[in-house]
């Protein structure tokens, strides 16, 4: 895996708090360069508020604002002159077009079937499940990823989280391999 890759995050990657927080932390320490568009941002915000009516909409919007302040280069313009692409779901074309416009190496999504490998490789984009990507990133830069995870763990103070609880939270977020990797490799204390 190349160092500091540009990764276009599909809305489903930014939807969940645990993965979103980790992507942001990885971006702030320059292990990855996350990217998204306004449309992707509005999609994850809308889906989160629709599925979690218990959340305060203003706080969720504030989260997106903070993300854009912390990583101002992350939000890329929506491409208007992008090549015509065909995907199983036409509503996903904008995501692949955004990956191209961002010059991303990887497109991270939980919906691999929506982005056929042959179509994506033809335009120079590798589509990865976030679980696979995080395992590969950990294998490529284990110390930096561990340090970043320790910082993330220390941020969670209400309530404080053990390493095992942090790993289990990632497992519940759909990152089973990454969760097992963390359980097998706790930080040095």
Q: How far apart are CA 32 and CA 113, in angstroms?
A: 24
Segment 35-47, tens digit of pLDDT: 999 999 999 999 9
The pTM assigned to this predicted structure is 0.93
* Pairing mode, strands 106-108 and 33-35: unpaired
Distance CA(57)–CA(108), nearest Å, equals 25
Could you give the CA distance from residue 63 to residue 20 in angstroms, rounded to a whole number? Answer: 10
Q: What is the pLDDT of residue 15?
A: 96
Residue 55 backbone class (left: φ over 0; alpha: ψ -120 to 50; beta: rest):
beta
- CA torsion sign for 134, 136, 141, 142 is positive
What structural domains does the chain harbor?
A: 6-129 (3.40.50), 134-184 (no CATH)
The whole-number average pLDDT for the span 128-151 is 96
Please tell me which of 94-98, 114-118, 166-170 the model is most confident about, judged by mean pLDDT.
Answer: 166-170
Per the model's pLDDT, the better-predicted residue between 164 and 159 turns out to be 164
Whether the predicted pLDDT of 121 surpasses 70: yes
Residue 88's pLDDT is 73
Average predicted confidence (pLDDT) for the chain? 92
Question: What's the average model confidence in pLDDT over 97-114?
Answer: 94
pLDDT at residue 160 in the model = 81
pLDDT bracket for residue 113 (50, 70, 90): very high
| pLDDT score of 189 | 58
Task: List, for residues 48-99, the tens digit of each pLDDT value.
Answer: 999 999 999 999 999 999 999 999 999 998 777 656 677 777 788 889 999 9
């Amino acid at each position: 895996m190349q160092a500091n890759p540009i990764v276009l995050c599909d809305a489903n990657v930014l939807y969940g708090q645990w993965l979103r927080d980790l992507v942001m932390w990885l971006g702030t320490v320059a292990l990855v360069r996350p990217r998204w568009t306004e449309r992707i941002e509005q999609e994850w915000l809308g889906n989160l508020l629709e599925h979690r009516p218990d959340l305060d909409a203003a706080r969720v919007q504030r989260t997106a604002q903070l993300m854009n302040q912390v990583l101002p280069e992350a939000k890329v313009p929506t491409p208007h002159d992008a090549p015509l692409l065909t995907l199983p779901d036409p509503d996903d074309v904008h995501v692949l077009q955004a990956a191209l416009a961002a010059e991303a190496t990887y497109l991270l999504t939980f919906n691999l079937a929506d982005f056929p490998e042959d179509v994506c490789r033809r335009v120079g984009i590798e589509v990865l499940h976030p679980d696979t990507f995080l395992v590969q990133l950990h294998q490529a830069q284990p110390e930096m990823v561990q340090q970043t995870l320790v910082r993330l763990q220390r941020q969670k103070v209400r309530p404080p989280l053990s390493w095992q609880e942090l790993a289990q939270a990632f497992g519940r977020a759909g990152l089973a391999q990454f969760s097992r990797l963390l359980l097998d490799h706790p930080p040095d204390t």
